[in-house]
Structure 1
Amino acid sequence: MKSDSEGGAPRSGRRKWPDGYDPQRTRGALIQSALDLFERDGFDRTTLQQIVDGAGLTKGAFYHHFQSKEDVLWQIQNEYLDSQIEAATAIREKDDDPVEQLRALIRLSLGGVESHRAHVTIFSQERRHLTGQRLETVAAKRNELESLFLDAVQRGIDTGVFRDSLTGRIATFGIIGMCAGAFQWYRPDGRLGIDEIADQFCELILDGLRP
């Protein structure tokens, strides 16, 4: 039988990091394993055992940090939405111009596809597996993020910068859908980088909104 000093996960469920046990690194390893598996195989086809095996940990370590597989899914989505809301709120506070706000929000959304591709993929495809309070929490944060986009679009319409024939909510849903859907076809090694794609999205969207 292996001892803790022989590598792998100790029987306590605490991984033996080279410089000592680190709860945050243990949690991070579990999150990263779940991200990889949920993106590749989907939530349904991923087992708890696969998550802990991918992290080099045990179920004991898993249950020290998470209540269930659904809890991991919720925390992945929750943390990503928190980061997007924080960045989008900073954009709103930095510039009152609805055109520049929307331009920055589009770049933020597409930047997330590049820097957090697994999070975006999982959010788009796997959030249906959330239930109860977890689902309500994610839905509320999703609505909060959408409202930051809507605020820029609606102010543009109200001030005459954007066409008054548009319905703010419909335009907002279209913009968010375009940006979020990029995870399905964007490739980091493709001909265009994410900044160049963002330039084209901004041109397409903003020109379509203007009178």
Structure 2
Amino acid sequence: MTRVTTGPMSARRRQRWADGYDPENTRRSLVASALRLFERRGFDRTSVQEIADHARLTKGAFYHHFESKDDLLRHIHEEYLEAQLAAIHGIEAASDDPRIRVAELIRFCLTEYRAHTTIFHRERRHATGDVARKLGLVEAALAGMVQDGVAKGAFRPDIDARIAMFGLVGMCVGAYQWLHPAGPAGVDEVARQISAMVLEGLYASQSSEVP
């Protein structure tokens, strides 16, 4: 496991790019550093200096790319929500079966953007402005996926799509508290079992098989 070092930079080498300064790599390094530290230590307990140190960059490099730690958190939130929207649209385009769509959504939630997911739901009180707007789009798309299943008769007619959506998200987010990617069950098996539980509760007919 890579050790997170947050000590003075005097004892460590600054990051250097082979072909000179690379703004995209610098920005990605800062985001990756923040994801690691925010996930492990929390947003409030992580300083800008620590983010720069862990990325092996200067504090000046940080402020060249982000106005503040809050600005960096907003970028991480937006990156996560945009990825979710893209995934939902991809899942919907790949299948018309509401059951397959929900199962694929759960698989995505448990296998992609783990750090983003943890940080977002821990720090979602900061979701304002464009972040709040994009969150609304994601929640509407997720609820729409459930509502489509109700409309097609695949899911029970008494299901409230928004309640089902929040329950589904809660199960996926909660799984990050105990799910280890290298654990004995494996992420795919955990996703299958969670899908089975969710879909059993949604099914209009209990005779259907879980995808």
Q: TM-score, normalised to structure 1's length?
A: 0.85
Q: How does 1:106-185 map to 2 (within 5 A)?
A: 106-112=106-112, 116-128=113-125, 130=126, 135-185=128-178
- Counterpart of 2:147 in structure 1: which amino acid? Q
Percent sequence identity over aligned pairs: 49
Is the Cα–Cα contact under 8 Å of residues 109 and 179 in structure 1 kept in the other structure? yes
Question: What TM-score results when the alignment is normalised by the length of structure 2?
Answer: 0.85
Output aligned runs, 1:21-170, within 5 Å.
Answer: 21-112=21-112, 116-128=113-125, 130=126, 135-170=128-163
Alignment-mate amino acid for residue 134 of structure 2:
K
**TM-fit CA distance, 1:8:** 4.0
Aligned length: 193
Give yes or no for the alignment of 1:195 onto 2:188.
yes
Report the residue type matching 2:74 in the other structure: W
Query: Partner residue of 1:3?
Result: none
Q: How far, CA to CA, are the matches of 1:203 and 1:97 in structure 2?
A: 15
Per-residue CA deviation, residues 56-78 of structure 1 (Å, 9 max, x unaligned), is 11121111100000011111111
Distance (Å, rounded) in 2 between the aligned partners of 1:175 and 1:24: 35
Q: Runs of 5+ in structure 2 lacking a partner?
A: 1-11, 205-211
Contact 1:154-1:168 within 8 A present in 2 as well? yes
Q: Take 1:147 and 1:192, find their aligned partners in 2: how far apart are those partners? A: 32
Q: Specify the SS of the correspondent of 1:190.
A: coil
Structure 1 or 2: more helix by fraction: 1
CA distance in 2 between counterparts of 1:209 and 1:172 reads: 11
Matched residues in 2 for 1:172 and 1:127: separation?
A: 17
Deviating runs (4+, > 6 A) in structure 1?
none
Q: Is the 8 A contact 1:99 1:152 kept in 2?
A: no
* Matching residue's letter, 1:72: L
Alpha-carbon distance between aligned partners in 1 of 2:95 and 2:106, rounded to the nearest angstrom: 14
- Indicate the RMSD between aligned Cα atoms, in angstroms: 1.7
